[in-house]
Chains A and B, each alone.
Chain A
Amino acid sequence: MNEVAEAGIPRSPIALWQGIKDFVAARTISTTGIILFLLLATFLLWPLIAVLIKSIAGPEGFTLQYYKNFITKPYYYQSLINTLTLGVLTTSVCIGVGFIISYITTRGPRFLRKPLKMLALVPMIAPPYIFALSLIILLGRNGIVTRALNLNWSIYGFSGVVIAQTLAFLPLAYLMIENSLSTLNPNLEESAANLGASEGKILRTIIIPLLTPGLLKAALIVFVMAISEFGNVAILCGRTPFLAPDIYTIVTGIEMDFNMGSVLSMFLILPCAVIFVIQNYLIKGKGYTTILGKPVAAEPRRINPAILFPFLLISILVAGLIFVTFGIVGMGALTKIVGVDNKFTINHILDWRSNMALVNSLKVSLLSGFFGAIMGVLLAYVIVRGNLRGRTALEIIAIAGFTLPGTVLGIGYIFAFNRPPLLLTGTMMILVINCAFRFLAVGMEAGINKLHQLSIEVEEASMNLGASTATTFRRIVLPIIFPAFMYGFMYVFMTTMVSLSAVIFLVSPGRELASVFIFQWASYGYIGLASATTYKLIAIVGASLAVIQALSRWTGLSPTTGGGGV
């Protein structure tokens, strides 16, 4: 203070206090950042490392024996091949059909656009394993179609899994492709048409080349989801080996072979990690900007019937399949044994175990939603406004936790948290923490987007007018970032309600979740209970979606781009 006074610069106590406040404020962001990093490292990185360790930790120390087992025993590597094939097949069909449906809903006859779009998106509020249920009802051992046509073919196996996964992730593929298509400047196609190009030529030379980056991004996401999702694969795989259900049986079945389970997990992570790198480093930001100035709505062209009719046919067929699925499962919920004893009953709906599990699911989802949203918002602020050195690492870890298969995080949590000081297995907290950390990335990204919209100058203007950092945060930043908080909450809530892949390893007596019960009942053939619980889940998730819609209209934030729960 003395040397300042001597230098002749007036330094009032107020300025000094401001300086201290700024110092603390800057450090606050950094401190928060450090705490968040520790949390993410503990609950996302550490479980993964635990899995890695288990895969190479033999009775005598470091060993590659388990990996050798994997590569040499056909049962294991066949599992990997099947999983990858599943991914490729599912992705191809989803992208192809997703493109066809989005073509119709953006450039086809006006009266079809909205109904087709709604039907294609309806599965987003249902758990992905609803399709396993409907396939069992229709084509299972006692399936309606099986008995009507006296089929000898079993839905349990490779084909059943592919069909179910394709239907499950079609809405997600459609959503992403439609998003890309609708940002494609329709003037480009009009120009090409004006210059004489046929519809087929326009598709080949204009639409598909420009859409390719968007298609690629969608394909990567669908691939990851298809190989990570547990429910459909586990219910319908029969004797065919796939990685996700195999990890489950190896770890929780009679063998309790943690080591092999970890090895399988590492092989499941591998393609996901590769895709993660491609997504975030190679193709991030690539794409064509085709709209300059005023956006123009696409007017329906006279589309060549040779293209229109097949597209329409496929779209309506798929829409029909989705419609049938929901109807069939609804029937399953309301009849004693659907297809066999079609007497109406509400017993399935009233089942107390199902309701108790739903209450648990609600509790877990609300808590993880809350924690996930708070952490998402704090992460967003630290990443955008902080100057902590590792803050991009924060973002990457969060997104990695989101992209990696739930199965792997599930067993990772068993390995990591079954010993003090972090003895969490067998509690409800482990469920809450697992889901909160896995899904917080969505709220974080929403928060980052919102903060980027809020230019730093707005906060500077606030401080220029006399507000402190804390006041600026409270009165300017928080209200603006609040929609991202709500959005993050809703997403984590909805996804946790239907999530299965990770929590199936972590539930314990008294803490069952609805998704796990649905899976178990479907596996044992109690279709009525499984269907009824699924519909109750849909009702809750559907209601939340309605709240999001209302909220987004109120705040102007755009609704989901995230997928169905895995």
Chain B
Amino acid sequence: MLVLREIYKTFGTVKALKGICAEVRKGELITFLGPSGCGKTTLLRCIGGLTKPDAGDVVLDGRRINDLTPDKRGTQMCFQNYALFPHMTVAGNIGYGLQVHKWKKKRIQERVEELLHLVRLEGLGDRPIDKLSGGQQQRVALARALALEPKVLLLDEPLSNLDANLRVLMRATLREIQKRVNITTIFVTHDQFEAMSISDRLIVIRDGIIEQVGTPSEIYEKPSSEFVARFIGYVNILNGVVRNLGSETDPAVISTELGDLQVLRSENDIQVNQRVFLIIRPETIRIGPYGEATGINEFKSTVITSMYGGSTIKYTVDVQGKNMVIDQYDPSHAGIFEIGEKVTVTIPQNVHILKK
């Protein structure tokens, strides 16, 4: 539905976007994810017509919209600081666009009521903006953007100004509203948990370049670069050299700083002696009582730190001199290992292999 072709943007000496190509499907919630300063907000503004790209095309439904003003594009922007009009009420803000488009008063009232109901702010139409909580302001901004039924909704870090608990709550609300209205939405955030929990697809951006595009599980389980692997969730990365390619039924053998690991090959096309990264997520490593460690991928190790988190417990263990992070679920069942305790650690066979 929306296609971005070779978007470039430079601010003075800073190259914010270096040839972004991407595609957004109708009805999906896609997130631009990346560290601060990576260009995600700039990209969003280019789509919305608030920033003019130096080169490249923004195409919506087959039409090139580069030269259209923001109000003629069919996109609506929701700013990080909400940008609500402080001198108007909730209804005044939501109805502003409708007023500008000269809707009849009654129609405006009806539409505003509809939207208040959609974002669950019924009855607050006459409230002045400064008497609203953060979460409520967020929803007014959303309602205001949705009033004119845009084709694409652009959300610039909408939850960053909310406190932690409210953020988690609002994530779900936002996603629910988006699905109910079935509006194509582009979400920008630097919070990877947020991105993963509500998106249909993610685009990971770093320094103005796209690192990887995929569904949250694709990005989490099969990151295409070391950067993406480290950016999303916790990760253990081992340096390895391929010793033995194995086959469809036999695992490959890769020597790492821990020792030799047996790794199932799946779809990777690796060669012998190739240097690789092994991407190992903390929740996939098994930790158990001390034993002989003779099984496949079993190692002796010592617990260095142990951080109890209620539903999980996070261990840092020393395996052959290398620190690894392990998440153990349901510690009440699985048992808690103390600092300094000796344990056995099992690396799974189906880890993700990244070519260096």
By a beta-carbon cutoff of 8 Å, the part of chain A in contact with chain B is 185, 187-188, 190-197, 201, 205-206, 209-210, 288-294, 299, 302
Contact = CB atoms under 8 A, between A and B. Distances in A.
B80 A194 contact: no
Contact of B83 (A188, A205, A289, A302): A188
Interface in B75-93: 75-77, 79-83, 85-87
B71 interface: yes
Contacts of B69: 193, 302
B51 A299 contact: yes
**Residue among A191, A193, A209, A293 with the highest chain B CB neighbour number at 10 A:** A191
A288 B148 CA distance: 27
**Residue among A193, A194, A197 with the highest chain B CB neighbour number at 10 A:** A194
**Residue among A193, A195, A201 with the highest chain B CB neighbour number at 10 A:** A195
Contact of B101 (A191, A196, A206, A299): A196
Nearest to A194: B70
Contacts of B50: 190, 194, 299
B144 interface: yes
B100 interface: yes
Contact of A293 (B48, B75, B161): B161
Contacts of A294: 80-81
B100 A191 contact: no
A197 B98 CA distance: 10
A460 B144 CA distance: 48
Contacts of B85: 188, 191-192, 206
Contacts, number: 70
Nearest to A293: B81
Contacts of B49: 194
A171 to B, nearest CB: 29
Contact of A196 (B75, B81, B82, B100): B100
B71 A187 contact: no
Contacts of A195: 71, 76, 96-97, 100, 144, 147-148
A185 B83 contact: yes
B160 interface: yes
Interface string B134-164: 0000000000100110000000000011000
Nearest to A198: B100
Contact of A289 (B77, B80, B86): B86
A290 B71 contact: no
Contact of B71 (A193, A205, A288): A193
Contact of B86 (A190, A192, A210, A293): A210
Interface string B48-74: 111100000000000000000111000
Nearest to B78: A191
Interface in B220-274: none
B87 A210 contact: yes
A187 B83 contact: yes
Contacts of B81: 185, 187, 291-294
B96 A192 contact: yes
Given A194-B48, A292-B82, 10 more contacts: A190-B77, A191-B83, A193-B69, A195-B71, A195-B147, A196-B101, A196-B148, A197-B96, A292-B161, A299-B51
A198 to B, nearest CB: 8
Contact of A194 (B76, B87, B160): B76
**Residue among A190, A196, A210, A302 with the highest chain B CB neighbour number at 10 A:** A196
B288 to A, nearest CB: 47
Nearest to A192: B96
A553 to B, nearest CB: 20
A277 B71 CA distance: 45
Contacts of B97: 195-196
Given A190-B77, A299-B50, A196 B87 contact: no
Contact of A288 (B77, B87, B101, B160): B87
A197 B148 CA distance: 13
Contacts of B70: 190, 193-194
B71 A191 contact: no
B159 to A, nearest CB: 12
26 contacts: A188-B83, A190-B70, A190-B79, A191-B79, A192-B85, A193-B71, A194-B48, A194-B50, A194-B70, A194-B71, A194-B76, A194-B77, A195-B71, A195-B148, A196-B71, A196-B100, A197-B96, A201-B100, A206-B85, A288-B86, A291-B81, A292-B81, A294-B80, A299-B50, A299-B51, A302-B69
10 smallest CB-CB distances across A and B, nearest first, come from A195-B97, A187-B83, A292-B81, A196-B71, A194-B70, A187-B79, A196-B100, A288-B86, A191-B83, A197-B100
Contacts of A191: 77, 79, 83, 85, 144
B226 to A, nearest CB: 29
A201 B69 CA distance: 16
B77 A293 contact: no
Contacts of B144: 191, 195
B40 to A, nearest CB: 14
Nearest to B73: A194
Contact of B80 (A188, A190, A192, A293): A293
A191 B75 CA distance: 11
Interface string B25-37: 0000000000000
Contacts of B87: 209-210, 288
Interface string B333-352: 00000000000000000000
Contacts of B77: 190-191, 194
Nearest to B137: A292
Contacts of A196: 71, 97, 100-101, 148
A196 B148 CA distance: 10
Nearest to B160: A293
A423 B80 CA distance: 64
A201 B79 CA distance: 21
Interface string B85-117: 111000000001100110000000000000000
A192 B50 CA distance: 12
B269 to A, nearest CB: 44
Contacts of A190: 50, 70, 77, 79, 83
A307 to B, nearest CB: 15
B140 to A, nearest CB: 12
B7 to A, nearest CB: 16
A211 to B, nearest CB: 10
Contacts of A210: 86-87
B185 to A, nearest CB: 15
Nearest to A195: B97
A300 to B, nearest CB: 10
A188 B82 CA distance: 9
A203 to B, nearest CB: 13
A200 B97 CA distance: 15
B229 to A, nearest CB: 29
A181 to B, nearest CB: 15
A205 B49 CA distance: 22
Interface string B308-319: 000000000000
A292 B132 CA distance: 14
Contacts of A193: 69-71
A289 B51 CA distance: 25
A205 B101 CA distance: 14
A82 to B, nearest CB: 37
Contacts of A290: 86
A192 B148 CA distance: 12
